[in-house]
Chains A and B, each alone.
Chain A
Amino acid sequence: METTDNVTMCQYYSIEAGNFTLAGEAAGQIKNNLKQLGIDAALVKKVAIASYEAEMNLVIHSNGGRLIFKINPKVITIIAQDDGPGIKDIELAMKEGYSTAPDTARELGFGAGMGLPNMKRCADRFVIRSEEGKGTEVELSFNLS
C-alpha cells in the first residue's frame, strides 16, 4: 500500500434540528471542499446532492445531529448521525414517496419522500442503521478511482 493513501481528512458539521435558515450550509461547504480538492465535476454533483439530502433529514426528522465528511485518495465518505428519534421501519422509509415530514417542512417544499432513495442512487455504497428511541446513522461512500 502506498503511504500517500493514508492521507485522510475529516470534517464535522453539527446540524441543528428544525433550523431551516442554516439548512444546506454544511452540504454547500462539502461541495466547495470537493471543488478545491479538484474532484471531477460529475462526482461533486452526486456527493453534493446526497449530502444535502442527508443534512435535510437531520434538520427535518432528527433531534439534531452531525454530518461528517471524510476523504482519502480512494474514497469519499459522508456520515449523518443523530441521537433520535430513530426509524421504526427502515424498509418503509426507503420507499420512494414515503414521508413523515411535518407540515412545517412540507410548506417549504420538503417531504417528497425521495431523500433516502436519492442518497442510495448517488452513492456507491449505502448503509443505514437505526434504532427507535436511540438514533439513526446513514453512511454513504463514493469511489474516487
Chain B
Amino acid sequence: MLEQYYHSVTLDRGKCKGCTNCIKRCPTEAIRFADGKARIIGERCIDCGECIRVCPYHAKVAVTDSLSSINAFKYKIALPAPSLYGQFEKVDKFGKVLAGLKMLGFDEVYEVARAADYTAAFIKREMEENRGRIKPLISSACPAIVRLIQVRFPELIKNIIPISSPMEIAAQIAKRTFCEKRGVKPEEVGAFFITPCAAKMTVVRNPIGMDKSFVDGCISIMDIYGPLCSKIKKAKSEDVLHMATEFGVGWANAGGEGRSLHKNNFLAVDGIHNVIKVLEEIENGKLSDLDFFEGLSCVGGCVGGPLVFENSFVAQNRVRELKSSAQGNALTCEEVEKEVSSIVWRFQTEITSKPVMKLAEDISVAIKKMEEMNTIYEQLPGLDCGSCGSPNCRALAEDIVRGYATEMDCIFKLKEKVKMLAQEMIELSEKIPLGKETTSEEDVKE
C-alpha cells in the first residue's frame, strides 16, 4: 500500500513545458513525464530541491508557510536558520538580522545556531557512548539525506545519529523560555523556522525520529528576504541578544557540524550527487575508520539551500567572516546539563527503511520481473535520452514491468514500428487490384 506522504516540493502544472531537464537530475528517479507534463512520484521524492534548481521554467516549487500565517498564534517566535546570516550585504552584526526579524511581527527570536551548539553537545555525548562501535556515524541534520538513506541505503540507517535537529531543539527551548518569562500557555505560542529549503518544511509535517514536530510552520528565506532587508536598515542590534557561538553559526556551511564536534576524523560532503557517491563507499565498507560523516544535500551546505536568496559561495564567505564576531559566546556545561533533562533531544521513534525501489514483495515475483526488465532493456537503444518520460532506458524498462509505461513510449522503438507499418502498407498497396483503381480515376475525370 502506498502511504500518503506530504511533500513541500510540488509541480506547478501550468508552468511545466515538458522539457525533461528535471528527470535526469533527480537522485531517486522520482520524476516521470506523462502527457507532456512532469509528475513527481511521492513515495520516492526526498524533497532535496534539485528539480527546483534545475527547472528553467520555475515549474517546480516549494510550498512553505506565508509570513501572515504566524498570526494564527497569539505569540510568535522566529527561529532563523544559521544560513540566514549569510544573506545580507554589508550586515556585519548578527544582532541586526535578529532585531530586523523581530520587527516583522515576532515577539521573540531564538537562533537555531544557538540550538546547534546544544545539538553538538548532545552528539558528542552520543559519540562517547558509541565508542567507535558504529563507524562512521552519519549526521541526521539534513532531512533530505536522511530520506535518501531510507530510500536508497537502508543498511546505513543504523549509522544515523539519533539526535534531534537544531531546529527541533530551538523550538523547544524557545517556547519554554518564552512561556516562563511571559507566563503564557504553550498552546498560545507558535514557533516558525526561517528555512533555506523544502526538506525542512517537509520534515516539520513528517518528522524524523518523533511523532510530532515542535515547530509550527516554516517561512522561506526567499519570501522573507525583501521585507527583512528593509527592517534591517532600521534595526538596532542591541535589541536581540545574539548568543550562538562561532561553531553554532558555522552550521550554515558544509563542514560546520563536523567542526563543532571538535573531532579531526570527520568527512563533510555537500551536493546530493556527491553525497550519494560517498554513501556508496560507506555501504561498501570503505570508510570504516571514519568517526563522523556529514552529508549535505546542497552545494556549500545550507547556505546553498534551494530557498535562499544569496549565491551559495558568496554566502559561505560571508558566514566565515561573520563567525569571528561570535567568538566571545560560549555554551556552558551547566546550560547543557539543564537541557539534557528538560527537552526531547533523542529520537523517540525509529527510522525505518522505505524500499520504494523494490520490484515486488515476493522474491519469486521480483526475480521474474527483473528478468523481464533485463530482456526489455536489451531491446532499448541505450541512449538514456529521456524522451520517453523516464530518466533513462533502464528506468523505462522498469516502468514497463511495473505497468506504468509501454515500449512504444521509446521514440526510437516507435520509429521502428512506424517504419515497419509503413513498409507493410506499401506491400499491401501493391496488392490492390489495378482494375479498380483505374475505374475510380475515370470517375473523378468525368
Contacts and interface: CB of A to CB of B under 8 A. Distances in A.
Contacts of B359: 36-38
A72 B155 contact: no
Interface in A34-54: 35-39, 41-42, 44-45, 48-49, 52
A99 to B, nearest CB: 18
A97 interface: no
B283 A38 contact: no
A36 B366 contact: yes
Contacts of A8: 367
Nearest to A38: B358
Contacts of A144: 363
A31 B280 CA distance: 10
A45 to B, nearest CB: 5
Contacts of B155: 41-42, 44-45
A26 to B, nearest CB: 13
A28 interface: yes
Contacts of B361: 38
B370 interface: yes
B367 A37 contact: yes
B364 A49 contact: no
Helix, strand, loop or mixed for chain B's interface?
helix
Interface string A1-44: 00011011101000000000000000010010101111101101
Contact of B366 (A5, A37, A42): A37
Helix, strand, loop or mixed for chain A's interface?
helix
A130 to B, nearest CB: 26
B363, B367, B374: most-surrounded residue (chain A CB, <10 A) = B363
Nearest to B368: A7
A38 B360 contact: yes
Contacts of A52: 284
A94 interface: no
B359 to A, nearest CB: 5
Given A45-B155, A49-B285, A38 B355 contact: yes
A5 B157 CA distance: 31
Interface string B363-379: 11011101100100000
Interface in B317-355: 353, 355
Interface string A50-67: 001000000000000000
Contacts of A7: 364, 367-368, 371
A73 interface: yes
Contacts of A105: none
Contacts of A72: 367
B280 A28 contact: yes
A144 B364 CA distance: 12
A72 B366 CA distance: 10
A115 B360 CA distance: 33
A48 B153 CA distance: 13
Interface string A84-115: 00000000000000000000000000000000
Contacts of B34: none
B358 A4 contact: no
B154 interface: yes
Nearest to B361: A38
Contacts of B420: none
Contact of A9 (B280, B285, B370, B398): B370
B353 A36 contact: no
A48 B364 contact: no
Contacts of B355: 35, 38
B357 interface: yes
A33 B152 CA distance: 12
A37 B364 contact: no
A138 interface: no
A113 to B, nearest CB: 17
A35 B358 CA distance: 7
A9 B371 contact: yes
A39 B152 CA distance: 13
B363 A37 contact: yes
A73 B371 contact: no
Contacts of B368: 7
Nearest to A42: B155
Contacts of B357: 35-36
Contacts of A4: 364
Contacts of A44: 155
Interface of A: 4-5, 7-9, 11, 28, 31, 33, 35-39, 41-42, 44-45, 48-49, 52, 71-73, 144
8 closest cross-chain pairs (CB), A and B: A41-B155, A4-B364, A38-B358, A41-B154, A37-B366, A73-B363, A7-B364, A7-B367
Interface of B: 152, 154-155, 157, 280, 283-285, 353, 355, 357-361, 363-364, 366-368, 370-371, 374, 398
Given A11-B374, A36-B359, A38-B358, 6 more contacts: A35-B152, A35-B154, A37-B367, A38-B363, A71-B367, A73-B364
